[in-house]
Amino acid sequence: MHSTHTRFRHAVLTAGATALALLATGCWYASTGARTGGCRDVGDWSGREQAAWLRTAVAFHGTTDGADPSYAQASVVVRGPRTGDVRVLCRPLAVQVEFWTFTATTTRPEMSFVMRYGLSADGGRTRTVAFPAGLPTGQDGTCVRALVAAYAGTPLAGGELPELTADLATAGDVDVRFGTARIGVHRLLPAQGPAQCHAGRSTPRPSPTASTGWDIYHP
């Protein structure tokens, strides 16, 4: 009887010591979080915070050099964040992936809507959005560049739409301005025919946008 009592007291002391060690190292919190699902609560996230999450979760594939005039292999990939808190979100974000074109004219670049694709993302699975078929590329001799952006929330309102602050031929990502802070990432794609975008090589004129007019939402 005495031996049983001693073993029980030893077991209690050992468990208490283990709990203290776990608390000191943070493992107790991680274990508790795992048992309750371990998801990341974003209920009070601002637009800027949602954009920050997207910046680490979105990647562009096949868009770097403009070698493929159709962007047939290009895509926007939304997955779990690569840095920081990588837990799955408790509540998925509504994410928009939107495409536009900028076409050179005799005055200022003309922006045209091409496609918007809505999806939900929580970082728990990979979502891939292919570039739209027939994306205008300026093959008719006109200077045309495409812009793609991923952002959280509802589609952009008029005052939130992008605009260029530099010449279309030389503009980069930093020369695209949006009227909102909720843009996660954007990419101004290279011109498919760079010579068409330099003064004196061609006469800029409006180009057909071949817009699909799509506005799709996929939960």
Residue 71 gets the label, from left (phi > 0), alpha (psi -120 to 50) or beta, of: left
Strand partners, 120: 94
Residue 118 belongs to some domain of the structure: yes
Please indicate, yes or no, whether residues 9 and 57 belong to a single structural domain of this protein: no
Residue 185 belongs to some domain of the structure: yes
Please indicate, yes or no, whether residues 54 and 129 belong to a single structural domain of this protein: yes
pTM for the structure as a whole: 0.72
Residues 94 and 219 sit within 8 Å (Cβ to Cβ): no
Please indicate, yes or no, whether residues 54 and 157 belong to a single structural domain of this protein: yes
Residues 137 and 192 sit within 8 Å (Cβ to Cβ): yes
Please indicate, yes or no, whether residues 113 and 208 belong to a single structural domain of this protein: yes
Residue 42 belongs to some domain of the structure: no
Q: What is the pLDDT of residues 37-76, one digit of tens each?
A: 589 887 788 989 999 999 999 999 987 665 566 687 889 9
Would you give per-residue pLDDT tens digits along the chain (219 residues)? Answer: 555 454 545 444 444 444 444 334 343 333 333 334 589 887 788 989 999 999 999 999 987 665 566 687 889 999 988 888 889 999 999 999 999 999 988 888 899 999 999 999 999 999 999 998 878 766 667 888 999 999 999 999 999 999 999 999 889 999 999 999 999 999 999 887 667 787 544 444 444 444 444 444 444
Residues 217 and 98 sit within 8 Å (Cβ to Cβ): no
Please indicate, yes or no, whether residues 56 and 26 belong to a single structural domain of this protein: no
Give the whole-angstrom CA distance, residue 138 versus residue 123: 36
Q: What is the number of structural domains in the chain?
A: 2
| Tokens, residue 66 | 């403009």
Please indicate, yes or no, whether residues 126 and 146 belong to a single structural domain of this protein: yes
Please indicate, yes or no, whether residues 28 and 84 belong to a single structural domain of this protein: no
Residue 176 belongs to some domain of the structure: yes
Other beta carbons within 10 angstroms of residue 136's beta carbon come to: 22
Residue 41 belongs to some domain of the structure: no
Q: Secondary structure of the chain in the HEC alphabet? A: CHHHHHHHHHHHHHHHHHHHHHHHHCHHHHHHHHHCCCCECCCCCCHHHHHHHHHHHEEEECCCCCCCCCCCCCEEEECCCCCCCCCCECCCEEEEEEEEEEECCCCCCEEEEEEEEEEEECCCCCEEEECCCCCCCCCCCCCEEEEEEEEECCCCCHHHCCEECCCCCCCCHHHEECCCCCEEEEEECCCCCHHHHCCCCCCCCCCCCCCCCEEEECC
Please indicate, yes or no, whether residues 136 and 99 belong to a single structural domain of this protein: yes
Please indicate, yes or no, whether residues 12 and 102 belong to a single structural domain of this protein: no
Residue range(s) defining the domain that contains residue 12: 2-35
Residues 93 and 53 sit within 8 Å (Cβ to Cβ): yes
Residue 40 belongs to some domain of the structure: no
Please indicate, yes or no, whether residues 72 and 138 belong to a single structural domain of this protein: yes
